[in-house]
Structures are given as C-alpha cells and as structure tokens.
Amino acid sequence: MRTLPDTDIYAVLSDEYSRGRGNVETARLLLEAGVKIIQYREKNFAVQRRLEECTAVKRLCAAHGACFIINDDVDLARAVQADGLHLGQSDTRPEEARRLIGDKMLLGYSVTTQYEIDRAKNIPGIDYLGVGPVFATGTKPDAASPGGLALLDYALANSDRPIVAIGGIKLEQVTALTRRGVRYLAMVSELVGAEDIRQKVVDIRAVIAGC
C-alpha cells in the first residue's frame, strides 16, 4: 500500500554518525526500539556495499513490519524491492522515477521552499513531501537554507500530501513541531548518533504524547 505507516519517527541511517555501529546494527536497534520507517542514505559507498547493506536492512525491516525507503537511487530501490524511494529536486524526476518503480513503491519528494511546495502539487505519483531543512543542520553540507517553522506551516496549509519534517530536528524541537501539526519527524544525527537509541526513541515519543 502506498501510504507511510501510521507512526511518528522517520529514521535516516548514516554510517558516519552511527558511533561505529554501522548501518545494519543501527537499523536493528531502531527497529527494536519500535521505529517503523527507515531510510538508507549513503552517497559515497561502493555499489556492492550499498547493495549488501540494503539487502540486510530490508530483511530486518520486513521482519519488524517496518517501511524501508532508499534515498536517491532508483536502481538500488528496485534491486532490493524497497518499500519506498526518496528523491530531491536534483535527483531523477519524480514522473520518470514513478515510471521506473511501478505503482506499488512509495515515492517521497523533497521540497525546500514555498515555490517548490506549490510546484509539487502538480506532480503526479508523489506520496509524501520531505520538507526542510527546517532548522540548520551539519549533516547535509549542501542543504538549502533552513525554512524554519514558516516553511512547515506553508506545507501543512498548502499540500494535501503527508508532510515529513527534516533538518536539525533534536529532542528539543519535537514539541514545537508536533504542536504545529507535523506528524512525521525525520532525524539523522539525533537518532543514529544517540548513545542509547532505545532511550532516545522513548524520550521522543514521551514528548509527542505530552503534546
């Protein structure tokens, strides 16, 4: 089914931020903590390493009933039969990607400005929007300028697709985002870089529950 799971946390893997745990072990810890969406985002690894890691993470996700999304790479998403593909403004065009991945795989699309939010309305085949960076982030050196809460408000008011907030999201921002009406919170460093991933997930969910 082409909908994001009924959940809150959207974890994005990063070997670099994983405290040496690596992507597969990090995915296992996230899944055991109850995370239901995991994105694989490694831009500089060799094809074979990416394929092996994605095959392992996909299997773990399937065993935990979680959704596995691959960033950027249409061929890799197809090869491992991922549940979803995430593309940005400079990646394969969503219409072309949809043609290649068929009609079963989820397709996420990044928007960084109000203009891109408006333009995305007319693009068919997109299942959710990744909106951000909301806040400043050191994780993506080529990120656009942070759009702040105003960008999220605009997306929530002007798009009928599910909104995934991303960029600089730490535990401290969860209250503001949740109260704004954001349902999905995508995080890289805050989650995969946590000393205790299970505890971090518990803490984030406690904040959401208190909103």
Ligand X SMILES: Cc1ncsc1CCOP(=O)(O)O
Ligand Y SMILES: Cc1ncc(COP(=O)(O)OP(=O)(O)O)c(N)n1
110 is known to lie in a ligand binding site? yes
Examine residue 140 and tell whether it contacts ligand Y (CB under 6 A): yes
Residue 161 in the binding site for ligand Y (CB under 6 A): no
21 is catalytic: no
Q: Nearer to ligand X by C-beta: 67 or 188?
A: 188
Nearer to ligand X, 120 or 187 (CB): 187
Tell me, yes or no, if 59 is annotated catalytic.
no
DSSP letter for each residue of the chain: --S--S-SEEEE--STTTTT-HHHHHHHHHHHTT--EEEE--SSS-HHHHHHHHHHHHHHHHHTT-EEEEES-HHHHHHTT-SEEEE-TTSS-HHHHHHHH-SSSEEEEEE-SHHHHHHHTT-TT--EEEE---S--SS-TTPPPP-HHHHHHHHHHH--S-EEEESS--GGGHHHHHHHT--EEEESHHHHT-SSHHHHHHHHHHHHHT-
The answer to whether the annotation marks 175 as part of a ligand binding site is: no
Kindly tell me which of 60 and 137 has the beta carbon lying closer to ligand Y.
137
Residues 79-108 contacting Mg ion, CB under 5 A: 88, 91
Is 168 marked within a binding site?
Answer: yes
Active-site residue 41, yes or no? yes
**72 marked as binding residue:** yes
- Which is catalytic among the residues 21, 78, 140, 161? 140
For position 41 contacting ligand Y by CB under 6 A, the verdict is: yes
Binding site for ligand X (CB under 6 A): 132-133, 137, 139-140, 143, 166-169, 187-190
Q: Residues within the annotated binding site?
A: 39-43, 71-72, 91, 110, 137-140, 168, 188-189
